[in-house]
Structure 1
């Protein structure tokens, strides 16, 4: 529960507690897979993860806020205002938006490099006028700010059993793997927003271009060339998962079940895409509730085992019951 997480983190100021609660709500509402994995973390670290997610979601919503009919110039102004607010908050601990106050507090508590936030906002601004990427290298440059930095922001919160610099490339790769998974899952929705994140060189290698994607989206018809391109994108994404996986063992043992669960659940989205014959232009693939529950249960077993080993035989495994029951809900 929110109160328990905040108490465990030592967050006592009422306004700051409300700011963190706002971030937790954003995570619960929009990050279903991510939120489930977060509930496997030690309770004192969850609020920081909610803050990092909440800030990223807030910026992303500004970029994608088409419902109010805001122009790119208006959204750019809002992003620059957010950037200014964050810079002020990182210096002073203030901030006008709740998500900004919470993320600035988290950055201070865990010593998160401020340049990671600047890089993130630079990539968010790119989404206002960049609608496609010619090469995979171009896409990776964008994803440094939009995804890799998220993994790097998380690393101080999670903790490591090796020097942080050794774990950093794997943490960055995991952020990229998650985003590539989202890009593949959301091809149709992104196309509706005027964006194609799959790199043009990968698509062209299979005879696919934007007009063909738009035709398929509009008509609901499949095409063998599109399926071949999506299979190639899946293979590329799985390679990034392989780059990331060794980093899990470099983390604090208490957080490994959380990251392993996220790793498994996001990888499960790729499985769902394949099972649905790569029809992502026409429907959104998702991991089933049964599968999510099974992964969460496996994570709880790992947590209990880690606590049991850490405490020896002095404490029974049901000492973790409050956290296990909450994560299982």
Structure 2
């Protein structure tokens, strides 16, 4: 196979990943498109593979089939360090392999993401066996392990594409991880109802017990909160997540302008969601809260001009 043929395959692979990101990354794409073309393509490749892993856990079907699919994908990820020649014709894997050749992408972080999705599959198995939603995380520290697998890993993968302008104390990877934890906590609070419908509970069991909260749906399909205890719990969790944003966003000054804008835009959209949830937790009781396209575009514009920092 000639170099020209390889270049065409890789170019088409990146185009596939950019199409996936454009259509499926409803929040991240507003930040990703602020990057220069080469890094934008690389980050789209990272997103497309992360999305594939995540989608396996969220698909309907037998958990045994999900475990087999995750195991197969874990093996494929193990081939990525060999470069584009080792991953066959799969466009997503081909693009990630090329991106990892060009940037210090921490490929092992994809394995952590698989670990987190496998934990979801285990929770699904428990829910199917007991007939009740599973609450597998006994404490907030337990939940942080999961968040680090499914979101801290993505923060570190993104940092591999961004690089750093300066990092004298070697803090960038930790801060990228922390920012991922903040985003995932926001996801959990936004999706309490949706997750419960699918038999999953991510709020820590000890915090639910201490607040006297049993997650359940009313007859109209909304979350039941007769005494406001759930709202108080959600509000407290939102305040805690803000501290993770404050620490994680210390990453921004370590990045070049375009990477900083991308990071600020992505984090800004989720932090805006978190502020909305903290202001009125009941807004997540009967819907999946989101920002309008105009609001997201405004956050991205402010990030690019530095207003969001």
TM-score category by the smaller chain? 0.7 to 0.9
Answering whether residue 230 of structure 2 is matched by residue 237 of structure 1, we say no
Any conservation in 1 of the 2:190–2:277 contact (CA below 8 Å)? yes
The alpha carbon displacement at 1:143 in A equals 1.8
Q: 1:139 aligns with which of 139, 143, 166?
A: 143
Quick one: distance in 2 between partners of 1:153 and 1:277? 31
* Aligned-residue CA RMSD (Å): 2.2
Any conservation in 2 of the 1:269–1:286 contact (CA below 8 Å)? yes
Partner of residue 7, structure 2: 13
Partner of residue 159, structure 2: 155
Any conservation in 1 of the 2:258–2:304 contact (CA below 8 Å)? no
Gaps of 5+ in 2: 124-133
Gaps of 5+ in 1: 1-10, 304-329
The alpha carbon displacement at 1:35 in A equals 0.2
Query: C-alpha deviations, 1:113-142, integer Å up to 9, x for none?
Result: 332222221112111013431111111112
Query: C-alpha deviations, 1:32-57, integer Å up to 9, x for none?
Result: 21001111112221011101111010
Where in structure 2 are the equivalents of 1:273-312 lying within 5 Å?
273-302=277-306
Q: 1:117 aligns with which of 110, 114, 122?
A: 110
SS class of match (1:205): helix
Query: C-alpha deviations, 1:78-133, integer Å up to 9, x for none?
Result: 11111112212332523253212211221222122332222221112111013431
Quick one: distance in 1 between partners of 2:111 and 2:63? 19
Answering whether residue 122 of structure 2 is matched by residue 129 of structure 1, we say yes
Quick one: distance in 1 between partners of 2:281 and 2:118? 34
- Name the TM-score, length of structure 1 as normaliser: 0.81
Where in structure 2 are the equivalents of 1:55-66 lying within 5 Å?
55-66=49-60
The alpha carbon displacement at 1:23 in A equals 1.5
Query: C-alpha deviations, 1:206-246, integer Å up to 9, x for none?
Result: 1113xx33458845544311111111111121111111121
Quick one: distance in 1 between partners of 2:232 and 2:41? 41
Quick one: distance in 2 between partners of 1:250 and 1:137? 28
- Name the TM-score, length of structure 2 as normaliser: 0.86
Stretch deviating more after TM superposition (41-50 or 159-168): 159-168
Partner of residue 95, structure 1: 87
How many correspondences in the alignment?
A: 288
Any conservation in 1 of the 2:13–2:95 contact (CA below 8 Å)? yes
Quick one: distance in 1 between partners of 2:171 and 2:225? 44
SS class of match (2:256): coil
Answering whether residue 252 of structure 2 is matched by residue 259 of structure 1, we say no
The alpha carbon displacement at 1:21 in A equals 1.7
Quick one: distance in 1 between partners of 2:292 and 2:232? 25
Quick one: distance in 1 between partners of 2:210 and 2:35? 42
**Residues 277, 166 of structure 1: alpha-carbon distance in 2 compared, 3 angstrom cutoff:** closer
Q: 2:250 aligns with which of 238, 242, 246?
A: 246
Partner of residue 130, structure 2: none
**Residues 216, 42 of structure 1: alpha-carbon distance in 2 compared, 3 angstrom cutoff:** farther
Any conservation in 1 of the 2:216–2:224 contact (CA below 8 Å)? no
